[in-house]
Amino acid sequence: MNEIMTFIVTLIVAAISYSTPLLFGTLGEILTEKSGNLNLGVEGIMYMGGAIGLGGVFYYEKIVGAGNANVIVAFAVAILFALLAGALASLIFSFITITLRANQNVTGLALSIFGTGVGQFVGEYMRIQAGGYVSISNDLKEAFIASPFPNFLQNIPIIGDILFGHSFFFYLAVVLAICLHIFLKKTRTGLYLRSVGESPATADAAGINVTKNKYLATIIGGGISAIGGMVYIVTLAGCTWNHEGLAGFGWLAVALVIFCLWRPLSAIWGSVLFGALMILYTRLQIPFIPTELYKILPYVVTVVVLVISSMRNNKEKQPPASLGLAYFREER
Partner 1 sequence: MHNEAKTPLIRLAKREGIRPASTWLIRIASILVALILGSFIIMITGVNPIEAYGTMIKGSLGSKVYLQQTIKIAIPLLGCALAIAPCFKMRFWNIGAEGQITAGALAATFVVRQLAGKVPSLVLLILMALASLIGGGIWGLIPGFFKAKWNTNETLFTLMMNYIIIGVVAWLQIGPWQGRQGRMAQFPAEAILPKVFGIHCGWIIVLVLVVVVYIYMNHTKQGYEIAVIGDSLNTARYAGMNVGGIMMRTMFLSGAVSGLVGFIVASGANGTLASDIADGVGFTAITVAWLSQLNSFVMIVISMLLGILTMGADTLQTNLNVPVSISHIIIGLLLFCMLGCEFFINYRMILRSKAHGKEAASK
Using CB under 8 A, list all residues that contact partner 1.
38, 40, 44, 92, 95-96, 99-103, 105-107, 109-121, 124-125, 128, 248, 251, 254-255, 258, 290, 292-293, 295-296, 299-300, 302-303, 306-307, 310-311, 313, 319, 323-324, 330
For partner 1, the closer of residues 71 and 297 by Cβ is 297
| Shortest Cβ 307–partner 1 spacing (Å) | 6
The nearest distance, CB 117 to partner 1, in angstroms, is: 3
The nearest distance, CB 103 to partner 1, in angstroms, is 6
Question: Counting Cβ atoms within 10 Å, is residue 84 exposed (0-12), middle (13-18) or buried (19+)?
Answer: middle
What region, left, alpha or beta, does residue 263 occupy, with left being phi > 0 and alpha being psi -120 to 50 degrees? beta
Rounded Cα distance, 272 and 268, in Å: 7
User: Which residue, 23 or 255, has its beta carbon nearer to partner 1?
Assistant: 255
Neighbours of 282 (CB within 10 A): 11
Q: Min. distance of Cβ 257 from partner 1 in angstroms?
A: 9
**Helix, strand, coil proportions of the chain in percent (round to 5)?**
75, 0, 25
Q: Are 224 and 24 in contact (CB under 8 A)?
A: yes
Cβ closer to partner 1: 163 or 303?
303
Cα separation of 207 and 53, whole Å? 38
Nearest to 253 by CA among 233, 224, 212: 224
Q: How far is the CB of 272 from partner 1 (least distance, A)?
A: 20
CB 133 within 8 A of CB 58: no
Identity of the residue, 7 or 121, whose beta carbon is nearer to partner 1 in the bound complex:
121
> Which C-beta is closer to partner 1: that of 66 or that of 321?
321
* Amino acid identity at 116: T
Nearest residue (CB) to partner 1, 3 versus 316: 316
What is the closest distance, in whole angstroms, from the C-beta atom of residue 253 to partner 1 in the complex? 12
DSSP string across 191-204? HHHHHHHH-HHHHH
